[in-house]
Each structure stands twice: as structure tokens, then as C-alpha cells.
């Protein structure tokens, strides 16, 4: 990739304005370029809204320092309580020189590219890897990257026989999809996921001609309505770090729209989330399949 200016994420404009025409590098924004593909020392400017997870953040900072030109400008910012207060220490450890300011609960560091960078450890720690414990390809920063999510585990334990064409909405590393595709009567499964890193891992975790992979926001896909026999999902309830119940509710409405008449939704959710009303409204029937460890598994019929 040979752009001159880039941005990672959506930094608040009043705190850091990316250059005009800056190319988006966040893996959470479908269609963006991968920061890993930026040629070393090629960017004139880069603004990074640093992610909250510390391994992921150090990896992104190291990628940013790798990508920036020696005379380029790297601006990194984060809310103080979501990694911002650690930025200075982390940039120093990577060998960068910078100036730090504080504004509107954010820390903002403007770094130059130092002569002696020490990026290898951070790049390695944040890279995709095969986890023996999970038996899956995974990457720090991806949902539940180093353990099986208990909600997902509960749905796996109660997954009924499925058949025909289906989708896994918010498929993550592909844990649910693997269990679905273990069923011979399933003819096709579309994994929809907004995190490109998770989807790249899912491609490595699932070697099955019946699977296809869609890097997209579930709220904006062009999947055909009314064609699926089933949908499985453990919907997200965070968007950009903040709890967003509407997102899970939209996943439910989207699932209802994708299903054929009498098609089935199998979903798990945290017990405290208010999904019953939207399930009842969007489906002709809905019942609780299981409840344990703070999670509920629902089966609904379109």
C-alpha cells in the first residue's frame, strides 16, 4: 500500500484531524486497508485512535511506528481510562520520542520516528497465532481471543440439529460455525463479521467449501432477505467500547429478515440484556432452550 496519509479508527475530530484523503487502516471498519500492508517508512502522517486492549494497543503502536516516514508525523490518542494514560510509557518502550498533551479526558502523543526502534516484541505479541488451548487461530484484540466465551460454550452445548443454508452473524473466530459445519445436513454457511482480523482467523479455522466469509457490518449487508433456513449468533452488545443494546436488537431483527418462513434463530445472550421483547416482536414463536452461568439460549421461529 502506498498512501501518504492514514488514520486508524475514528478519532474525535476536535482532538486530532487526519490529513485529507487519509486511508483508513482499522480492521474494525469493513473495506479498510490492513496496517500490516503499509510499506515500512512510507507514511507522511498517521493518526491512531489507540485500542483499549494493551497487547493489541502496543501492536498497533509498533505497526504505526514501523509505517511512518523518518520525518513523518504520528499522532496517537486514547481516552485516559482506556489506555490513554499508558501511551507515553508504551511509546517510550518502543523507542519513540514524542510530546504528550491532555485534552477532554484523552492523552494525545505526537511522536517522531526515533532512530532506534524496538518493535519486534510488540509486533510478535500482537500477531495472529495458533492457540493450542483453543485449537484455533486467534489474535489479541479479537473477541474472546484467548478463551472460549461462556455464552458461546452454552450455545454450543445446546445446538440442535440444523439443515440447509444458514448464517453466523458476528462469527468471530468461527467457533459456532465450526460446530454448525460439523453437521452434514448443513449445505451452506455465511460467516458475517466486522473485525477483519477475526474473519482472517476464521478462514484459517474453517477449511470447508460450504463456508463463505463476509467482512461486513451486519446492519449493512446485502444478504438476500428470506432465504436462510437458520441463523446462529452470539450478538455483540458493545459498539466502539460502549454498551450498545440496540446493536444486539438490530442483529435479532436482521436475523428475522434473513430467514425463510419457519426458519430458525439460535442465539445466546447475557441474561441481563433485554432481548425477549424484540424476539417476540420479530418472530412468530420463541422459547428459552437453556439458562446457565448468566447466559440464556433462545430458539426462535420466523
Ligand X SMILES: C[S@@+](CC[C@H](N)C(=O)[O-])C[C@H]1O[C@@H](n2cnc3c(N)ncnc32)[C@H](O)[C@@H]1O
Name the site residues for ligand X (rule: CB under 6 A).
143-144, 149, 152, 170-172, 175-176, 192-195, 198, 217-219, 234, 236
Residue 5 or 203 having the CB closest to ligand X: 203
Q: Could you tell me the smallest distance in angstroms from the CB atom of residue 74 to ligand X?
A: 26
Name the minimum Å distance from CB 188 to ligand X. 18
Q: Where are the alpha helices (DSSP H) in the chain?
A: 54-67, 87-93, 120-125, 150-157, 175-181, 196-205, 245-258, 276-282
Minimal distance, residue 193 CB to ligand X, in Å: 5
Buried b (16+ CB within 10 A) or exposed e, 252-272: bebbbebbeeebbbbbbbeee
Question: CB of 71: closest distance to ligand X in angstroms?
Answer: 36
Query: What does the alpha-carbon distance between residue 138 and residue 130 come to, in Å, rounded to a whole number?
Result: 6
Beta-strand ranges (E) seen in the chain are 5-8, 23-24, 43-49, 68-79, 97-103, 106-112, 129-131, 136-138, 164-169, 186-193, 211-215, 228-233, 238-239, 242-243, 259-270, 285-292, 295-301
The whole-angstrom distance between residue 131's C-alpha and the CA centroid of its chain comes to 18
- Measured from the CB atom, the residue of 30 and 64 that comes closer to ligand X is 30
Q: Smallest distance, Å, CB 11 to ligand X?
A: 19
Query: Rounded CA gap, 195 and 139, in Å?
Result: 11
Q: Do residues 288 and 275 make contact, with C-beta atoms less than 8 angstroms apart? A: no
Least Å distance, CB 217 to ligand X, is: 4
Between 137 and 143, name the residue whose CB sits nearer to ligand X: 143
User: Nearer to ligand X by C-beta: 111 or 206?
Assistant: 206
Distance CA 246, CA 292 (A): 23
Q: Smallest distance, Å, CB 54 to ligand X?
A: 19
82-91 burial, b for 16+ CB within 10 Å, e for fewer? Answer: bbbebbbebb
Closer CB to ligand X, 139 or 234, in the complex:
234
Q: Which residue is nearest to ligand X (CB)?
A: 170
41, containing H or E segment: none
Amino acid at each position: 500500500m502506498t498512501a501518504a496519509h492514514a488514520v486508524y479508527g475514528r478519532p474525535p475530530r476536535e482532538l486530532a484531524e487526519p490529513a485529507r484523503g487519509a486511508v483508513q487502516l482499522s480492521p474494525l471498519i469493513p473495506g479498510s486497508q490492513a496496517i500490516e500492508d503499509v510499506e515500512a517508512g512510507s507514511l507522511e502522517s498517521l493518526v491512531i485512535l489507540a485500542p483499549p486492549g494493551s497487547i493489541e494497543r502496543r501492536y498497533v503502536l509498533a505497526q504505526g511506528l514501523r509505517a511512518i516516514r523518518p520525518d513523518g508525523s504520528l499522532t496517537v490518542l486514547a481516552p485516559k481510562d482506556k489506555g490513554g494514560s499508558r501511551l507515553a510509557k508504551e511509546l517510550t518502550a518502543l523507542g519513540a520520542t514524542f510530546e504528550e498533551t491532555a485534552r477532554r479526558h484523552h492523552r494525545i502523543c505526537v511522536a517522531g520516528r526515533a532512530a532506534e526502534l524496538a518493535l519486534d516484541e510488540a509486533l510478535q505479541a500482537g500477531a495472529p497465532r495458533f492457540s493450542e488451548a483453543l485449537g484455533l487461530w486467534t489474535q489479541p484484540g479479537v473477541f474472546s481471543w484467548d478463551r472460549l466465551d461462556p455464552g458461546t460454550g452454552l450455545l454450543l452445548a445446546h445446538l440442535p440439529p440444523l439443515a440447509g443454508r444458514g448464517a453466523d452473524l458476528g462469527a468471530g473466530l468461527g467457533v459456532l460455525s465450526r460446530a454448525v459445519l460439523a453437521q452434514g445436513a448443513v449445505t451452506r454457511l455465511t460467516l458475517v463479521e466486522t473485525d477483519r482480523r477475526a474473519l482472517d482467523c476464521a478462514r484459517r479455522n474453517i477449511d470447508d467449501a460450504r463456508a463463505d466469509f463476509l467482512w461486513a457490518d451486519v446492519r449493512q449487508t446485502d444478504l438476500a432477505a428470506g432465504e436462510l433456513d437458520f441463523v446462529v449468533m452470539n450478538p455483540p452488545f458493545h459498539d466502539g467500547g460502549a454498551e450498545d443494546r440496540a446493536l444486539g436488537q438490530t442483529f435479532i431483527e436482521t436475523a428475522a429478515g434473513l430467514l425463510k418462513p419457519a426458519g430458525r434463530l439460535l442465539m445466546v445472550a447475557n441474561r441481563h440484556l433485554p432481548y425477549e421483547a424484540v424476539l417476540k416482536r420479530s418472530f412468530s414463536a420463541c422459547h428459552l432452550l437453556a439458562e446457565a452461568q448468566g447466559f440464556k439460549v433462545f430458539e426462535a421461529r420466523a
